[in-house]
Structure 1
């Protein structure tokens, strides 16, 4: 969409909001079960503390704002928070797709607020099916012949005498909802799927970060410093050729935004599947020629809720902001665990 078309247009930002209820203290004199304080489940990647669902009020709120050329969805939310509703809660930091803290779901697609352009996500207000045919208020698709008949009827009415101008204006009204020329459309924003919602668009990513941490995402060498013939430290011990660097270089660009986990139909907070974010972090060191703990890393993910739980749907590859083919990496890890 050109900048001239976007200039001066309005858009409706539809946000799924959540306000948590005040926490209440629960006092129990006697425990009903000796196992009541223990966390359930045998997942090694699950939380050591039982997570309870946060209660609160869910509601949807629309904001109509003026859109400027080249704006991102993050720009719109900042405008809403500064000028319309200061209670709106969302998370962001760098604003340039580097930190990964502003991951949400836009029109059902997990992505980053700061990289999502308005013109790419705005949906026309008029209902349309996949073929671009209009759908009326009752849910029926308007056929081409019906549209042509309506247009011919409107044209014949316009060609009548001037005394029937009022009737002509009424006959031009179509039962199909058409957007205003100055209306860009609707953008629907929701919290990132698969994570507990804390408030509005802010989700709890602690579980994901703990899973990554449990897989020890750091280089493991043999703790032996190589020395030269004269007893000095060999600074060139860990040199790599371009082929070795290429194996993990793109994987090291992962920003742990959670977009791949929000896209994964299997991941649900890590209770049944550790998730692609932690596996990408593990794959980064498995493919590093300087790391000496490959077998240990493969053993760590070869569990029922590890790489074995991956169903190879490859939905995790669709919207990675760093260009990582996450689904392909999951497949490579699966094959490597099987063939080790």
Structure 2
């Protein structure tokens, strides 16, 4: 894209699915019913989160004039600053590193800060179709081959970007999803290195100061996986995941894969065992939708498939030993 195209001004409607939760009763704020169902992944024993919070839901349009190269996050910040300070959304670094601003744009889970207006605007028309005559239903438009040809639009064509909270999670307010269920699942699976703690000794009886150094080949096995920012985009894309109730989720499994591939980790058997439950590896249907939109370029579906193979092998080995 040329500088002139990047600086091109566009009049865009942001169509936002908004939500205001119903105020909680005082009794619930004090801890709720002692007979409420407890979350199996909560150390505090607090009641499990409801999959759908009650409240007011509506769709609201905002008109903004922005540069084609602006991010969708820039648009929301403009609305927040100049039009509606009540609009709620989450962000932190603004550079695709923290993963806190994951939402659904035109039905596709992605990050607000990396989504450019030029790549996501579409004609505001119910009859809008692609070259083959089909109406897009959340197909990613992340390169020039899929982006809308702005020069081919007729003058006065209304442009829109549709925004909603990240699917697969309860909505807290407007575009803010409650991703705590995902983080609980990740914590449950010990997302940290567990070395055996034994000091290695060299041939002459000295402590081996290089025991944890790795060869480049060893590092490359997990290096890309260590870039996961737990944004939840893969979980929002997964048709099986729904807040961790039926499936531990691709983000948690990627964390397990990262340490299974780390030559320094000493609890591979424990990690594989943690995925042998009904909500673990067996719940994954290998749809591979989780690979489509990862902002870090991780082939999530392939990594999950490799982990599932390891879990199946460990299960068969256990059954053989028991027999």
Q: Is 1:256 equivalent to 2:230 in the alignment? A: yes
Matches within 5 A, 1:169-180: none
Contact kept in structure 1, 2:256 and 2:271, CA below 8 Å: yes
Deviates more, 1:14-23 or 1:51-60: 51-60
Contact kept in structure 2, 1:13 and 1:187, CA below 8 Å: yes
Contact kept in structure 2, 1:45 and 1:270, CA below 8 Å: no
1:69-120 deviations in whole A, cap 9, x for unaligned?
4101001000110011110000000000000000000000000000001111
Query: What is the aligned partner in structure 2 of residue 129 from structure 1?
Result: 129
CA distance in 1 between counterparts of 2:44 and 2:233 reads 21
CA distance in 2 between counterparts of 1:122 and 1:182 reads 14
Query: What is the aligned partner in structure 1 of residue 300 from structure 2?
Result: 326
What do you get for the CA RMSD once the two structures are aligned? Answer: 2.7
CA distance in 2 between counterparts of 1:285 and 1:269 reads 23
Query: What is the aligned partner in structure 2 of residue 302 from structure 1?
Result: 276
CA distance in 2 between counterparts of 1:279 and 1:187 reads 32
CA distance in 2 between counterparts of 1:88 and 1:18 reads 10
1:239-268 deviations in whole A, cap 9, x for unaligned?
211111111000000000000000000000
Query: What is the aligned partner in structure 2 of residue 157 from structure 1?
Result: none
Matched positions, count: 291
Q: Is 1:201 equivalent to 2:175 in the alignment? A: yes
With normalisation by structure 1, the TM-score equals 0.79
1:230 deviates by 6.9
Contact kept in structure 2, 1:195 and 1:203, CA below 8 Å: yes
Q: What are structure 2's unaligned runs of at least 5 residues?
A: 136-151, 315-323
1:38 deviates by 4.0
Matches within 5 A, 1:146-185: 181=155, 183=157, 185=159
Q: Greater relative contact order: 1 or 2 (C-alpha under 8 angstroms, separation 6 or more)?
A: 1
Contact kept in structure 2, 1:15 and 1:61, CA below 8 Å: yes
1:1-46 deviations in whole A, cap 9, x for unaligned?
655456232001110000112112349xxx99xx933438xx6699
Pick from 259, 275, 280: which aligns with 2:249? 275
Secondary structure at the counterpart of residue 236 of structure 2: helix
Query: What is the aligned partner in structure 2 of residue 243 from structure 1?
Result: 217
Q: Is 1:50 equivalent to 2:48 in the alignment? A: yes
Contact kept in structure 1, 2:41 and 2:184, CA below 8 Å: no
CA distance in 2 between counterparts of 1:249 and 1:286 reads 12
Deviates more, 1:110-119 or 1:6-15: 6-15
Query: What is the aligned partner in structure 2 of residue 219 from structure 1?
Result: 193
Contact kept in structure 2, 1:18 and 1:56, CA below 8 Å: yes
If you compute each CA radius of gyration, which structure gives the higher value, 1 or 2? 1
Matches within 5 A, 1:2-151: 4=4, 7-26=8-27, 36-39=35-38, 48=45, 49-52=47-50, 53-126=52-125, 127-131=127-131
Deviates more, 1:66-75 or 1:187-196: 66-75
1:129-183 deviations in whole A, cap 9, x for unaligned?
2336699xxxxxxxxxxxxxxxxxxxxxxxxxxxxxxxxxxxxxxxxxx976255
Contact kept in structure 2, 1:9 and 1:182, CA below 8 Å: no
Q: What are structure 1's unaligned runs of at least 5 residues?
A: 136-177
Query: What is the aligned partner in structure 2 of residue 170 from structure 1?
Result: none
Contact kept in structure 2, 1:45 and 1:214, CA below 8 Å: no
Secondary structure at the counterpart of residue 54 of structure 1: coil
CA distance in 2 between counterparts of 1:44 and 1:308 reads 19
